[in-house]
Structure 1
């Protein structure tokens, strides 16, 4: 899966599962429990998530890609 600014966070969760624990390593705080994240991520793109977490978009995409890579190893 190619992560872009238009990728919906729900698509990432669907394909890779919960990566919140790994994202915390990069300084991105968890938002609620997994069930709550699954609900709200249906409406949030990677671009919006980067804005909400106050991380530059390119940096945020890198964090997501790194989190997915760590989870898959």
Structure 2
């Protein structure tokens, strides 16, 4: 009976360590995910600015083409 209890205690300890390790990994993944989302937002803003600048340049070029 004592062996069974020790065996179960060892399994519980292993499960608790695994749980802690998984929690730590999960927190790291969540933090990484947040960083990726922030970077994505930043890149989208840069893309929008670039598109706007290109549209402005195209508009100016069309104006120059139509000038006498």
Highest Rg: 1 or 2? 2
TM-score normalised by L of structure 1: 0.25
TM-score normalised by L of structure 2: 0.27
Q: Larger relative CO (CA 8 A, sep 6+): 1 or 2?
A: 1
